[in-house]
Amino acid sequence: MLTLSREAGFDGAQHVAGTSLAERYFADRSDGLRPSSGEDLLVALPESFVM
């Protein structure tokens, strides 16, 4: 995923694991709601936007 995005010109590509997102945004829920465990994200910006 990262290799393909970088080859396409997205030099600032980052992988964000679904488990990391769940820990960050769903940890303190009193109802125990959690997202699917198979949802990973790719955050990518073209080279001209990389800071």
pLDDT tens digits, residue range 14-46? 999 888 888 888 888 999 898 877 788 888 877
Domain spans in the chain, listed from the N-terminal domain onward:
2-46
Using the predicted structure, report yes or no on whether residue 50 has a pLDDT greater than 70: no
Q: How far apart are CA 19 and CA 25, in angstroms?
A: 10
Predicted TM-score (pTM) of the model is 0.61
Q: How far apart are CA 18 and CA 36, in angstroms?
A: 8
